[in-house]
Structure 1
Amino acid sequence: MKCKPTSATCLIKFFIFLLCVSILFFLLALREWMYTRNPTAVKMGWNNGTGDVEKIHSPEFQKLIKGLDPKLCDRNVCEEILPMKTASYLSSGHHKSVYRVEVCGKTFALKTVHHEGPWQVECEKDRSECENELIVSIAREGWILSKLIHPNILKIFGTCFSDIAAQGEDSERIAVITELGIPYDLVPEQHKTTGFRLKMAHHVCQVLKYLASSPLGPLLMLDMKQQQFVLVHDHLKLSDMDDVVMGDPSCDQVEDCQREIHETVLSGECSAGICEGLNAMINTVTAGRTILRSLLIDGASLALQQVAKPLITDLIENRSNITDFINRLNEISSDISE
């Protein structure tokens, strides 16, 4: 039965409708006010509305940047770090730039977006969308580092994130703060003694073992090479984790678990739909061809080269695993002198 315009029932329904609409607009306005007030608001669709606005305050991104405003001393430091006024440039890679920053009387490394890097230049999307993807990548790396606690993996102290409008055009939106290390490539040759090289090789092996059964599952490094390692107080540490794949590949049959890496055919076991051990094998073979070869053969003493070459060959041809390699490395460590 339709109500008459003058009936009390219609007026009540109309006022209820207006009240609901008012509450809705109030909640929307309140949410926008909270984003404006909060300098760590995650706005994936900033810069004139470009990007995926549905990702605003997405749970996934919040998970990545958990640990905002790291307390490196007795205060939160993001507000003084993100403007980059005290940062000194160190190096750049495909996605990131690394800076040296002094906070609370201590020195740290700061990883942030490489705005003019190869990835940004080659990205075919809107520039703000490309930068958003880099921000997510760096946040993901910070989250992964926070979960991997190991003496030979770079220690993270926190992640800072801010809407660019809160800091100014010259500031950074994201910064991952870590230990400051020396890239292995920059270690002076006179320091690369046989003992030093063997010790660093042991550190790499410990990383490989840890990645095979990390708290995040078996991890695959898509780009395992010496440039991803830095020296921190005589410990060689894995520093770049932005290309990590979590979990062994899925499979329906054993053929799905075969990979050819540098002419070496690797075969994992297809168990319960997972290629068990495949990530570890790929990491080991790749490390043998890159960082371990650089440590034990390239520029090493003749005595070390002679005993290391068969070990490296067996490793990269998948005739031995990382445990066998460590055992053989231990045997030669006590036999070789300078």
Structure 2
Amino acid sequence: MQPLGTSVALGAVLFLGALALLTFCPPGRGRRAAGREPPGLLGELRARREDLGRYSGALSSQALAESRLGCADLASLTGTRYLGSGFSKLVLQATLADGSAVALKRIHGEGSDVRRCVRLYRDPAGCQRLASYKLRKEVTLLRGLRHPGIIQLYGECYDNSLDPERRVTAMLELGSPLEMIQLLQAPWEERFKVCLSLVKLLHYLAHSPLGSVALLDFQPRQFVTVDGDLKVTDVDDASTEELTCGGDADCILEFPTKSFSLTCAAAGRCEGINEKRNLYNAYRFFFTYLLPHTAPPALKPFLYDIMNATGDLRYGINETLDAFEKVLYLYKSGLHLPKRSQHLKEFLVINGFRLQEAADYKCWPSYNHLGCLLSVHNANEAAVICNSHPQCQSFIVSQQRTWTGRLLVTFRSNFTDLVPDANSAVYIRRSSVLRKR
């Protein structure tokens, strides 16, 4: 999917082209009579229809979540604008009558999937139907697979005024594209959160109502963030099929730079292949870049154990989740920190005050790019950090906390301009006060 920065002009052209294809198909022009599709296209349609039927039948009526939005809501949308496009789908943003924003997914009439099909079969209408099955499958999966790590489906519309197999619109939770470059510059705690969210998602997929689900098109571009939480947004290429086998030699899981030999189970399926495919992709696309970089030194041995075990597929998803939860516990509890130091004695504390907001020295990675804002377990850890920064003369502890419950602390090169604040405390280096006098 293209990023949000795609030009407005390109977006307008794609949007208008898609609307034209979705809303207008003159009889006899670019469309064959029903049942007159080329044999090859009929075969592809049959295969996708069976694929959709398999997932629809596997999800019980109780497992299928109710949709709260329908065609009436789609008709009242305003402010529609282009967000991005992929091989088969167009993604738009729009505003509901209540003012909330949603993402819309529709068939991308100019996408490579449709264009490939038209070149091959010369049947635009049939190719639209073929592409629609991927979106219909995605809607079915999103209704049945409910997890915080999966984008939320708000509703769908099948427009019966046209061919119902072609006119499909899904209304989804709106997320922001995952920007790996920005994530690499974020504090370690935020990068660990992304990896932990991904592991929890993969744990759910390994034990889903459909069985073990593989994300066949596993790429960072298939994920978005919603309020800082990682969510997979494209599941049309998800599969519950596990490779059939007659022996262990048939169970080879291949990646561009590595391959793994798995076990052929008694049922004639490669045991755990979907789970292991997801886990190794998580390792090569996420863990490798996000886990060890600028991690707390005491946690690095645990993180490298995770890296080595997932990189060699010695861990399954259950063991991986346990290992992540252990790291999280150590980090939240502060047990990874050295025994209590004496650094805090070097600071004078003034409760009920903070320093006036001002640009100051920068540190990396900071929660505030205009200054030095870091998370700490307590004031003692903040004192250790301040002592490690040559510029630091004071730090302010407020009640702001990160997702792990750690305190957010601002480090400053001065201690002037005190401002009353009942929820804050200023810690000033004693030696700095003496020099000031």
Aligned to 1:15: none
Distance 1:51 1:127, change over 3 A: farther
Distance (whole Å) between structure 1 residues aligned to residue 324 and residue 163 of structure 2: 53
> Which structure ranks higher in relative contact order (CA pairs < 8 Å, sequence separation ≥ 6)?
1
Distance 1:164 1:323, change over 3 A: same
Can you give the 5+ residue segments of structure 2 that lack an aligned partner in the other structure?
Answer: 1-22, 24-29, 338-374, 377-437
Between the aligned residues of both structures, percent identity stands at: 25
- The answer on whether the counterparts of 1:51 and 1:128 sit within 8 Å (CA) in structure 2 is no
Q: 1:276-295 counterparts in 2 under 5 A?
A: 276-295=271-290
Q: Which moved more, 1:144-153 or 1:264-273?
A: 264-273
- The answer on whether the counterparts of 1:266 and 1:282 sit within 8 Å (CA) in structure 2 is no
- The answer on whether the counterparts of 1:159 and 1:176 sit within 8 Å (CA) in structure 2 is yes
Q: 1:134-283 counterparts in 2 under 5 A?
A: 134-163=131-160, 165=162, 173-185=167-179, 188-189=182-183, 192-261=186-255, 262-283=257-278
Amino acid at match of 1:121: R
User: Helix, strand or coil for the counterpart of 1:276?
Assistant: coil
User: Helix, strand or coil for the counterpart of 1:112?
Assistant: strand
Residue 65 of structure 2 is aligned to residue 78 of structure 1: no
Distance 1:60 1:233, change over 3 A: same
Distance 1:149 1:135, change over 3 A: same
Cα RMSD of the aligned pairs, angstroms, is: 3.7
Distance 1:225 1:119, change over 3 A: same
Amino acid at match of 1:315: T
Once the two structures are TM-superposed, the CA of residue 244 in structure 1 deviates from its matched residue by: 1.0
Distance (whole Å) between structure 2 residues aligned to residue 233 and residue 191 of structure 1: 18
Question: What is the aligned counterpart of 1:325 among 315, 320, 341?
Answer: 320
- The answer on whether the counterparts of 2:249 and 2:261 sit within 8 Å (CA) in structure 1 is no
Q: Which moved more, 1:151-160 or 1:78-87?
A: 78-87
User: Helix, strand or coil for the counterpart of 1:109?
Assistant: strand
Residue 125 of structure 2 is aligned to residue 132 of structure 1: no
Distance 1:190 1:272, change over 3 A: closer
Once the two structures are TM-superposed, the CA of residue 201 in structure 1 deviates from its matched residue by: 0.9
Distance 1:78 1:47, change over 3 A: farther
Q: Tell me the alpha carbon deviations over residues 12-38 of structure 1, each in whole angstroms, 9 at most, x when there is no partner.
A: xxxxxxxxxxxxxxxxxxxxxxxxxxx
Distance (whole Å) between structure 1 residues aligned to residue 51 and residue 161 of structure 2: 20
Aligned to 1:89: 82
Distance (whole Å) between structure 2 residues aligned to residue 193 and residue 107 of structure 1: 29
Once the two structures are TM-superposed, the CA of residue 186 in structure 1 deviates from its matched residue by: 7.3
Aligned to 2:306: 311
- Give me the TM-score of the superposition, normalised by structure 1: 0.71
Amino acid at match of 1:158: G
The size of the alignment, in residue pairs, is 283
Distance (whole Å) between structure 1 residues aligned to residue 101 and residue 312 of structure 2: 42
Once the two structures are TM-superposed, the CA of residue 121 in structure 1 deviates from its matched residue by: 2.5
Distance (whole Å) between structure 2 residues aligned to residue 190 and residue 259 of structure 1: 29
- The answer on whether the counterparts of 2:275 and 2:316 sit within 8 Å (CA) in structure 1 is no
Distance (whole Å) between structure 2 residues aligned to residue 82 and residue 173 of structure 1: 14
Aligned to 1:33: none
Distance 1:294 1:228, change over 3 A: farther
Distance (whole Å) between structure 1 residues aligned to residue 163 and residue 217 of structure 2: 35
User: Helix, strand or coil for the counterpart of 2:179?
Assistant: helix
- The answer on whether the counterparts of 1:120 and 1:130 sit within 8 Å (CA) in structure 2 is yes
Aligned to 1:101: 94
Q: Tell me the alpha carbon deviations over residues 74-122 of structure 1, each in whole angstroms, 9 at most, x when there is no partner.
A: xxx4155269864211111121111111113221111111221222233
- The answer on whether the counterparts of 2:78 and 2:95 sit within 8 Å (CA) in structure 1 is no
User: Helix, strand or coil for the counterpart of 1:116?
Assistant: coil
Distance 1:50 1:301, change over 3 A: farther
- The answer on whether the counterparts of 2:279 and 2:310 sit within 8 Å (CA) in structure 1 is yes
- The answer on whether the counterparts of 2:103 and 2:173 sit within 8 Å (CA) in structure 1 is yes
Distance (whole Å) between structure 2 residues aligned to residue 177 and residue 294 of structure 1: 32
